[in-house]
Structure 1
Amino acid sequence: MKVTRKIIQIDDERCDGCGNCVISCAEGALKIIDGKARVISDNLCDGLGACIGECPQNALHIIEREAEEFDEEAVEKHLEAQEAGAEEQETMPCGCPSTQIQRFAPAGNCQSANVPRAQAAGSAQSALGHWPVQIRLIPPNAPFLKGADLLVVADCVPVAFPTLHQDFLDGKAVMVGCPKFDDVQDYIDRFAEIFKNAGIKSVTTVVMEVPCCSGLPTIVKKGMEKAGVQVPAKQVTISTRGEILETR
Structure 2
Amino acid sequence: MIRDIVKIDRELCNGCGNCITGCHEGALQLIDGKATLVSELMCDGLGACIGTCPVGAITIEKREAEAYDEVATIIEMIPNGKNVVTAHLQHLLDHNETEFLRQAFGYLRQNEQTIPFDVNEVIDSLKQKPKATMAPMHHHHAGGGCPGAAARSFAPKMASMETADSNQPSALTHWPVQLHLINPNAAHFRGANLLLAADCVAYALANFHAKHLQGKTLAIACPKLDSNKEVYVQKITALIDNAEVDTITVMRMEVPCCGGLVQMAQLARNNAQRNIPIKVVEVGIQGEILGAQWI
Paired with 2:203 and 2:47, the residues of 1 have a C-alpha distance of 22
Normalising by structure 2, we get a TM-score of 0.48
Shift of 1:172: 0.8
| 1:52-91 equivalent positions in 2, closer than 5 A | none
Normalising by structure 1, we get a TM-score of 0.57
CA contact (8 A) 2:7 2:61 kept: no
CA contact (8 A) 2:248 2:279 kept: yes
> Could you report, residue by residue, the CA deviation over 1:9-59 in whole angstroms, capped at 9, with x for unpaired residues?
874533378963253489xxx9xxxxxxx95867xxxxxxxxxxxxxx999
CA contact (8 A) 1:18 1:180 kept: no
- Asked if 1:21 is matched to 2:49, the reply is yes
**Match for residue 211 of structure 1 among 252, 256, 261:** 256
Q: Which amino acid is 1:8 matched to?
A: K
Q: Which amino acid is 1:218 matched to?
A: Q
Instruction: List 4+ stretches of structure 1 deviating above 4 A.
Output: 9-12, 16-19, 38-42
Structure 2 counterpart of 1:186: 231
CA contact (8 A) 1:191 1:223 kept: yes
Paired with 2:292 and 2:46, the residues of 1 have a C-alpha distance of 20
Percent of aligned positions that are identical: 35
| Structure 2 counterpart SS, 1:131 | coil
Structure 2 counterpart of 1:243: 288
CA contact (8 A) 1:152 1:175 kept: yes
Paired with 1:201 and 1:141, the residues of 2 have a C-alpha distance of 14
Paired with 1:209 and 1:228, the residues of 2 have a C-alpha distance of 30
| Structure 2 counterpart SS, 1:137 | coil
CA contact (8 A) 1:155 1:177 kept: yes
> Could you report, residue by residue, the CA deviation over 1:121-154 in whole angstroms, capped at 9, with x for unpaired residues?
5442100010000000002212211110100000
Q: Structure 2: state its 5+ residue gaps.
A: 1-5, 9-36, 64-86, 92-159
Distance 1:123 1:181, change over 3 A: same
CA contact (8 A) 2:198 2:252 kept: yes
Structure 2 counterpart of 1:134: 178
Q: Structure 1: state its 5+ residue gaps.
A: 1-6, 31-37, 43-56, 60-115
Q: Larger % of strand: which?
A: 1
- 17-26 or 236-245: bigger deviation: 17-26
**Match for residue 233 of structure 1 among 273, 278, 291:** 278
Higher relative contact order at CA 8 Å, sep ≥6: structure 1 or structure 2? 1
Paired with 1:117 and 1:127, the residues of 2 have a C-alpha distance of 22
Paired with 2:62 and 2:289, the residues of 1 have a C-alpha distance of 40
Cα-Cα RMSD: 3.3
Q: Which amino acid is 1:14 matched to?
A: M
Paired with 2:203 and 2:181, the residues of 1 have a C-alpha distance of 20
**Match for residue 199 of structure 1 among 241, 244, 257:** 244
Of structures 1 and 2, the larger Rg is shown by 2
